[in-house]
Amino acid sequence: KTVNWLAIALVALLAGAPAGAQTPPDSKDFDRLFSRAMELHQAGDLLGAIDSYKAALAILPDRADALSNLGAAYAKLGQYNDAVQQYDAALKADPDNTQIRMNLALAYYKSARPGDAIPQLKRVVSSDPQAKAAYLILADCYLQAGQYQDVASLLQPRESMFGEDLAFAFMLGTALLQTGNTADGQRYVDRVFGAGESAEGHLLMGMAYLGQQNYREAKDELEKAV
């Protein structure tokens, strides 16, 4: 079983699927523009969709669905700062919307801002304790921030949720080794290597070579992981 943990953000990036419209009773122009924006979004015309979402929001600036979809279009283009701005505005309009909060966290995560993603992801898993992808992304944010004990505290009690998931084993094993729990950490690392050829195994080797400043071997292993 091979799981590319580096792709876990793609699983959760539901921002690419526009939210359904909520029909306001007195805004036919908004409805027309929003419907057109979603058609363009679904057809892959992101720039056209952005223009139409903006035109719709000029009429009803607090519509969370339109703000979230605009953020989704920006995220698809890799414009994560713009996506963050729109998701943040959408959350202000609909603060209990867990999916919008998850998309905001992903925009932070994809733009290499784990410190900003962490509080959003903590609220996501608090609202949805079964959100496996959110736990893994939160764990990776902790890893990037050097908060190894937080990784262990987050993942160890949830082993039954993840089973043989290699992303789980990779992150928990790495964190345990970093906190000095060599025996338990090695057990999870061995699970990664025991699964045969995997992105996680190559990533572990790449990290080991980086630690030795053996950049040529590290480059080879990381390319294999990708």
pLDDT tens sequence across 54-68: 999 999 999 999 999
Q: pLDDT value at position 112? A: 92
Mean pLDDT of 77-103: 97
**What does the pLDDT read at residue 145?**
94
> 27 or 98: which carries more pLDDT confidence?
98
Structure tokens at 181: 């729990």
- Using pLDDT thresholds of 50, 70 and 90, give the confidence band for residue 12: very low
Lowest mean pLDDT among 68-77, 98-107, 208-217: 208-217
Q: Which of 122, 127, 124, 121 is nearest to 109 (CA)?
A: 121
pLDDT recorded at residue 19: 59
pLDDT score for 218? 87
Band the pLDDT of 213: cuts 50, 70, 90: confident
Mean pLDDT of the chain: 88
State the pLDDT at residue 159: 94
Section 187-208 average pLDDT: 85
For range 20-33, the mean pLDDT? 71
Mean pLDDT value of segment 94-106: 97
pLDDT at 23: 52
